[in-house]
């Protein structure tokens, strides 16, 4: 990636992140994300409803078979900037809402793509999503 492309990505991502955090902090985060090629975040809301059962089922599949997508939800009544993490199994039937991006990263959802999902085992299961810039 050329320095011009990198600068463009940082500016674009930083401007989207500045909606929720201080402008300086937004550009520091954007620079770190672009420089690292992405980031890994905890998926929020995985303990809600029947999402724990969905995590149990997803854990049976290989990482290569599970696909994750970021879907902005402008019609969300709780937060118009919310971004849902939708998951599905390759050759499966549809997508399922597993949870949401943390609020401070949700405005940047259009500039990031899901590149992996990791399910965390434990008494209460969790998930981490890897995002690429």
Average of per-residue pLDDT values in the chain: 88
* Residue 15 counted as domain residue: no
* Residue 25 counted as domain residue: no
Q: Is the pLDDT at 47 greater than 80, yes or no?
A: yes
Domain harbouring 78, CATH code: 3.30.70.2330
Dihedral class, residue 20 (left if φ above 0, else alpha if ψ from -120 to 50, else beta): alpha
* Residue 99 counted as domain residue: yes
pLDDT tens string 62-103 = 888 888 999 999 898 988 889 999 998 987 777 889 999 998
Banded model confidence at residue 5, pLDDT cuts 50, 70, 90: very high
pLDDT tens string 93-132 = 778 899 999 988 888 887 788 888 888 887 788 999 998 8
Over pLDDT 90: what percentage of the chain? 38
Provide the number of structural domains found in the chain.
1
* Residue 8 counted as domain residue: no
* Residue 85 counted as domain residue: yes
Q: How far apart are the first and last CA of the chain?
A: 12
* Residue 97 counted as domain residue: yes
* Residue 120 counted as domain residue: yes
Cβ atoms 1, 97 nearer than 8 A: no
What pLDDT does residue 83 have? 92
Q: Is the pLDDT at 133 greater than 80, yes or no?
A: no
The domain in which residue 54 lies consists of: 37-132
Pick the closest to residue 15 from 30, 3, 1, 5 (CA basis).
30
What pLDDT does residue 100 have? 94
* Residue 18 counted as domain residue: no
23-36 helix and 3-17 helix, angle to the nearest 10 degrees: 140
Pick the closest to residue 116 from 80, 62, 46, 71 (CA basis).
62
């Amino acid at each position: 990636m050329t320095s011009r492309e990198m600068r463009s990505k940082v500016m674009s991502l930083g401007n989207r992140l500045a909606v929720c955090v201080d402008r300086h902090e937004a550009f520091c985060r954007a620079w770190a994300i672009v420089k690292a090629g992405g980031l890994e975040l905890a998926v929020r809301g995985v303990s809600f409803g029947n999402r724990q059962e969905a995590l149990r089922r997803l854990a049976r599949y290989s990482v290569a078979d599970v696909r994750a997508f970021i879907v902005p939800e402008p019609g969300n009544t709780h937060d118009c900037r919310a971004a849902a993490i939708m998951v599905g199994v390759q050759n499966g039937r549809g997508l399922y809402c597993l949870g949401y991006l943390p609020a401070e990263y949700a405005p940047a959802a259009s500039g990031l793509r899901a590149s992996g999902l990791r399910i965390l085992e434990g008494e209460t299961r969790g998930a981490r999503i890897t995002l690429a810039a």
